[in-house]
Amino acid sequence: MHNKSITALAAGLRAGDYSSVELTQYFLDRIQRLDTGLNSFITVCAEEALAAARAADKKLQAGEAGPLTGIPIAHKDIFCTKGVRTTCGSRMLESFISPYDATVVARLKAAGAVSLGKTNMDEFAMGSSNETSYYGPVRNPWDTGTVPGGSSGGSAACVAARLAPAATGTDTGGSIRQPAALCGITGLKPTYGRVSRYGMIAFASSLDQAGPMTTSAADAAIMLQAMAGFDGRDSTSAEQPVPDYSSGLQDDLTGLKIGLPREYFGEGLDAAVARSIEEAIGEYKKLGAEVVEISLPNTHLAVPTYYVVAPAECSSNLSRFDGVRYGHRCEDPKDLEDLYKRSRAEGFGDEVQRRILIGTYALSAGYYDAYYLKAQQVRQLISDDFKRAFGQVDLIMGPTAPESGFRIGEKADDPVSMYLSDIYTIAVNLAGLPGISIPVAPAAGSPVGLQIIGNYFAEARLLNVAHRLQMATDYHQAAPAGI
């Protein structure tokens, strides 16, 4: 049951092979049995899930079911969920019960999906390994001694371990695609503005984007169909029509022009990962695609640019957590200054504090022009690189991450090395483009992700190209041992 796709599960529900209540209980039992060794969930909502499943069964019986009706999913614990604890993986929001649903949550709920609970994540989405969570690290189900990637590591691990057929994630600099690569699943970061950010607790507002995490591109298409669309409550939401993402999955790839950036295949890329990517590119050639080398010359500036822009925006967004209105409040403050200092020092972990300090410095008088303004100028250069590239090719491909999952604790004391885990994904966020990571041939038994980058609002094409590879190979069907 747990290895079935969303489409197959939905077909079984409509045929009456099982009810949504039975399906939901099945996954709740798996979470209870298997997640103690993974720590992929912060909050499991068994009662709420079963109530939603009963409502879904009534719709199924009435013949009112859609593709997601009665399908259990999980939400990253960054999405506000009415009546459910929403922590962002932080002590700061340990007791916060959201009074409303994020748009992503509301739309999936309206589509009939059943929420099993909230998944673990790097604190306030700041991390590439899911080790900064106040609730402890998530473990990669392929090797529990290794990280699952981050910040959406809980969602990636729970889908990889088949604890849920699908989950939501967010991607600020690679936080859907990188954990998808390390956990051997499919992760889609849509175009900036394609999916509403309303109710998604902000890290870096000009970079954050929500997307689906699934076992396959076909399932990602179904999830994105429910999630995407304009939202007047989000000032950055794009007023763009939402196509039928599933209708073009089988489209022919003959004549597709794929660009391989030479900057993605140089120093720093693990040799075994490179071989897996080259094998996948070879499959695309068999499917009729043409491959050409291109250049994205400002790629080497993406990481330093991101680590000025993102901390600056995080410094601004997280200033609201001051111990006064909501969030963690220290005990017996002596005065207002003591309240601010101790509440924030106690509520935020080391990585969050590090980024707040960097961002505050970059925005301070005398340094704004030298750092933040300069970073925004370089950001435009990076975006221009992609524009020129898409004048030559239809899609860009390369590795999602430079290496497979590293050991838990291996990079904990080396933040710069950790930041380089997102070296191939960050530029996509800076430019606001869509990108997807899909599993390809493993390297030494560890999952490897192929990243496919498209032009603005080209999610349907990305899903088509990803799906065709998944029809030609079976890497997306592989599951960790014991799962």
Residue 74 region by backbone torsions, left for phi larger than 0, else alpha for psi between -120 and 50, else beta: beta
Is the predicted pLDDT of residue 362 greater than 90, yes or no? yes
Q: How many domains does the chain divide into? A: 1
pLDDT band at 416; cut points 50, 70, 90 = confident
Query: What is the residue whose two structure tokens read 């309240």?
Result: 339
Which of 83, 76, 73 minimizes the C-alpha distance to 108?
73
Q: What is the mean pLDDT of the chain?
A: 97
Task: Report how far Cα 55 is from the mean position of its chain's Cα atoms.
Answer: 28
Question: Residue 200 and residue 104: Cα distance in Å, rounded?
Answer: 8
Residue 366 — pLDDT band, cuts 50, 70, 90? Answer: confident
The lowest-confidence range among 12-16, 201-205, 276-280, 325-329 is 325-329
pLDDT score of 186 more than 90: yes
Of 175, 276, 437, 446, which is the active-site residue?
175
Kindly indicate the confidence band of residue 417, based on its pLDDT and cuts at 50, 70 and 90. confident
- In this prediction the pTM is 0.97
Q: What is the pLDDT of residue 402?
A: 95
Tokens 């699934």 label which residue?
214
Does 58 qualify as catalytic in the annotation? no
Span 244-255, pLDDT tens digits: 999 999 999 999
Residue with tokens 């998808």: 180
> Using H for helix, E for strand and C for coil, what is the string for 161-195?
CCCCCEEEEEECCCCCHHHHHHHCCEEEECCCCCE
Confidence of residue 325 (pLDDT cuts 50, 70, 90): confident
The catalytic residue among 5, 19, 20, 76 is 76
Percent of the chain's residues with pLDDT above 70: 100
Q: What is the DSSP letter of 91?
A: G
Is the pLDDT confidence value at 420 over 90?
no
Query: Residue 401 has what pLDDT?
Result: 97
128, 133, 151, 404: the active-site residue = 151
pLDDT given at position 9: 98
The per-type count for the chain, helices as H runs and strands as E runs, is 15, 11
The CATH number of residue 323's host domain is 3.90.1300.10
CA–CA dist 434, 250 (Å, integer) = 20
* Selected residue with higher pLDDT from 380 and 482: 380
- 418 pLDDT band (50/70/90 cuts)? confident
CA distance 230 to 188: 18
Rounded Cα gap, residues 67 and 120, in angstroms: 26
Residue-range definition of the domain harbouring residue 388: 1-483
Q: Check if 20 is active-site.
A: no
Question: 431-469: per-residue pLDDT in tens?
Answer: 999 999 999 999 989 999 999 999 999 999 999 999 999
Q: What is the pLDDT of residue 415?
A: 83
286 is catalytic: no
Is a pLDDT exceeding 90 seen at residue 391?
yes
For residue 93, what is the DSSP state? Answer: G
The Cα–Cα gap between 61 and 252 comes to: 37
